[in-house]
Amino acid sequence: MVPVESDDTLKLVLKCIDHEELGNLYALNKEITEDEKQSVIEYFRNYKPIDFKNIMNIEGNPHGWMCKEDDVPKVEKILNITETLEKQRLDQQQTQKELNRKRKIKDDAMGELESIFYKASRPNKFLKKLLKKAEIVYDPGDSYLTDHEFGEGQLFIIEKSYIWYIINNGRKDDDYTLNNIKTTGPGAVGFRIPYDEHVHDLIKLVSEENLYKGKQ
């Protein structure tokens, strides 16, 4: 039985999904001894594409030794697998729950920032000068670095006395008359508020403190 991936903990992992007949098929993630193979061989089959009714309705890799989902608990018991499929699912649910919790915190923080900057002043400035003057520049997800040439991306610029929220506004269908920040493209919309530590903390949360890596 050829393992599908390298891992220190022996477990069964989803390798193939047959949407028409067999359902989920699982393979071991690491090599086992010959004796262990013989103890579970009755639950496995060395699949080939020809074994499936409709190979066009298959996800994953239809080659190799795999067992059906109903046989997973039997294989796990025989091989004393502690990282069971059920445990993996519970761990994944917990991980997703934590990701959702963190996402909500970020979304709430972004919502608060938008409400704060919504009525902020919008003086005309050159982005190049703002970047040179800045003490810190946050670029959430490197959005401005990677997308500014396409008229997209956002920056949070921290100065001693002010905080700027810069929204690139340079796509073809954008309204350039809104722009008050001069950029190398059509421009951006910039909102400025007096420096506030709470706002700075919200920005750190939203941006995950990812600093702008472009020219300053």
**Alpha-carbon torsion (74, 77, 83, 84), positive or negative:** positive
Backbone angles phi, psi at 74, to 5 degrees: -65, -45
pLDDT of residue 130 exceeding 70: yes
Name the residue type at position 143.
Answer: S
Mean pLDDT of the chain: 94
Q: Among residues of the chain, what percentage have pLDDT more than 70?
A: 96
CA atoms of 70 and 183, how far apart (whole Å): 60
Q: pLDDT digits over 89-129, tens only?
A: 999 999 999 999 999 999 999 999 999 999 999 999 999 99
pLDDT of residue 71 exceeding 80: yes
Q: Which region holds residue 60: left if phi is over 0, alpha if psi is between -120 and 50, else beta?
A: left
114: closest CA among 210, 209, 206?
Answer: 206
Q: pLDDT digits over 150-180, tens only?
A: 999 999 999 999 999 999 999 999 999 999 9
pLDDT for position 177: 96
Give the DSSP letter string of the chain.
---SS--SS--EEEEEEETTTTEEEEEESS---HHHHHHHGGGEEEE-GGGSS-GGGEEE---EEEEEGGGHHHHHHHTT-SS-HHHHHHHHHHHHHHHHHHHHHHHHHHHHHHHHHTT-B---EEHHHHHHH-SEEE-GGGHHHHHGGGT--EEEEE-SSEEEEEEE--STTS-GGG--EE-SSS-EEEEEEE--HHHHHHHHHHHTT-B--S--
Q: Which region holds residue 209: left if phi is over 0, alpha if psi is between -120 and 50, else beta?
A: left
Mean pLDDT on 41-59 = 95
Q: Cα-atom radius of gyration of the chain, to the nearest Å?
A: 27
- For 8-12, 79-83, 138-142, which range has the lowest pLDDT when averaged over its residues? 8-12
pLDDT of residue 215 exceeding 90: no
CA atoms of 68 and 22, how far apart (whole Å): 7
Each domain of the chain, given as residue ranges in start order, spans 12-83, 99-207
pLDDT for position 5: 54
